Structure 1
Amino acid sequence: MPVEPEFRDDSSSVQLVAAVRQLVGHGLVVEGGDLTPADRDLLLEEELSLGNVVPARRREFRAGRFYARQALQGLGAGGSVIPIGDNRAPVWPTAIVGSISHTRSLCVVAVGSSTEFLGVGIDIEEDSPLSCELARLVSDAAELEGREEIERGLGCDLPKLLFVIKEAFYKMYFPLTGRFLAFHDVRIELDVEKHAAKAWIVPSKHLAAIDSRCFEGRFGSSGGTLFSCFELSAR
């Protein structure tokens, strides 16, 4: 049987975008909503860069580019083409950094000026628990310490939250370094009360000589959607 598409009322998407705007740093422009803009026309160059994909992926892509251009207008870069690069990430206009994320029904975009930010990463995911197998893939024992108490306080699955935070961190970090990271290459420490997260690269044989900095991000939830954002200031 065909899977029925997921629909959410307008208020959930508005609330999500508002919550993310409160989360990100000053100077970042956030736009987003549901995927209905996917029915609008796109610039041809963007469609060609997408290639041959299933309809659901094409819909996510179209909505993402629509909201990305809305966000870019806030930085005075409206009308820009945002194709897909060799690494499948968006190619932003010169002097712009940005990040796009979507679920099956919602999309959020964050962009900023490269004079203000070296990088930004955002991720949104449906608030549903991960399987035990995926939880082991995403997190380690240290990150899951105190899991029951954290989940009671936050009201969400801890491995899924760690997944969202690590995805947001990776989206910020990869464009800066070109380094692919696995989930266990990144260690997360949560501040539950402040909804803040610290991320470190875990030293290993293949990562021993790279960045030893602590990166600070934030996380939250709205209407059944988890979200996280990392940004790296240029100042």
Structure 2
Amino acid sequence: MVLPDGSDIRSDCSAAQFVASFRELVADDIGVEGGDFKPADRDLPLKEEAHLGNVVPARRREFRAGRLYARQALRGLGIPETVIPIGPDRAPIWPTGVVGSISHTRSLCAVAVGLSADYLGIGIDIEENSSLSGELAKLVTHTSELNEREVIEARLGYDLPKLLFVIKEAFYKMHFPLNRRFLAFRDVRVELDVERHVAKAVIVSSSRFVAADTFDGRFGSSHGTLFSCFALSAP
């Protein structure tokens, strides 16, 4: 159904349900906001845009949406309106005392933030629910991760390599700011608990698993969007 202003009720509902599903995935003390890019269409230039550079309009739109949803998420933590600059690695620089992550698809944006007193790091990723090509799947996954692929895909209803891609991206976005160590997709092996929607990320070294380097995350899906979150609690 299309309203007189051109907006689509179905699209709005899907975006709202996506955010609600994401909120159910994370702990109560992690702030989650998101939705479509409509808030970015308002004629309100953001200070952060001055450092964005010469980018295509679609990239500028998703960037603006990310910053606007990030401000909403921060307000939920009691953090007042603030500028969120772009870091040297192009990641957002959060206010002191905050950790967080931003992710986009071609039509949706999600933000998750938490207090650094509670979390050392947070990483999220959202992707459209489409299958990876065979070649890309080989780059992203270990053979062992695809054991029982047909059973898992029948249970979840989406492409297992794409899910592993989303999980590893979320893990990397949590891990890199803490360690400044670049990890390739095959540097991490994922173990899934399909029933509980839990993913364990195991960092591998020289093809040998390092049991101490394991991290628990969550994953889910909503209206054609896959998502994952890793949050490392503070000691």
TM-score (norm 2): 0.92
1:227 aligns with 2:227: yes
Alignment of 1:152-167 (within 5 A): 152-167=154-169
* Displacement after TM superposition at 1:211 (Å): 8.8
Deviations 1:77-135 (A, max 9, x none): 13111111001100000010000011010101000000000000111100000011110
The percent of aligned pairs where both chains have the same amino acid is 68
**Secondary structure of 1:9 counterpart:** helix
Whole-Å Cα distance in 1 between the matches of residues 101 and 110 of structure 2? 8
Whole-Å Cα distance in 1 between the matches of residues 216 and 61 of structure 2? 32
Whole-Å Cα distance in 2 between the matches of residues 119 and 42 of structure 1? 29
**Secondary structure of 2:24 counterpart:** helix
- The residue that corresponds to 1:185 in the other structure is 187
TM-score (norm 1): 0.92
- The residue that corresponds to 1:3 in the other structure is none
Whole-Å Cα distance in 1 between the matches of residues 138 and 58 of structure 2? 28
Whole-Å Cα distance in 2 between the matches of residues 156 and 30 of structure 1? 24
1:70–1:78 contact (8 Å) kept in structure 2: no
- The residue that corresponds to 2:199 in the other structure is 197
* RMSD of equivalent CA atoms: 1.7
How many residue pairs get matched?
A: 226
2:46–2:64 contact (8 Å) kept in structure 1: no
List gaps (5 residues or longer) in structure 2: 1-7
Q: What code does the residue aligned with 2:81 have? A: G
**Secondary structure of 2:92 counterpart:** coil
- The residue that corresponds to 1:64 in the other structure is 66
* Displacement after TM superposition at 1:180 (Å): 1.0
- The residue that corresponds to 1:49 in the other structure is 51
List gaps (5 residues or longer) in structure 1: 1-6
**Secondary structure of 2:219 counterpart:** strand
Say if 1:78 and 1:211 are closer, same or farther in 2 by CA, change over 3 A: farther
- The residue that corresponds to 1:11 in the other structure is 13
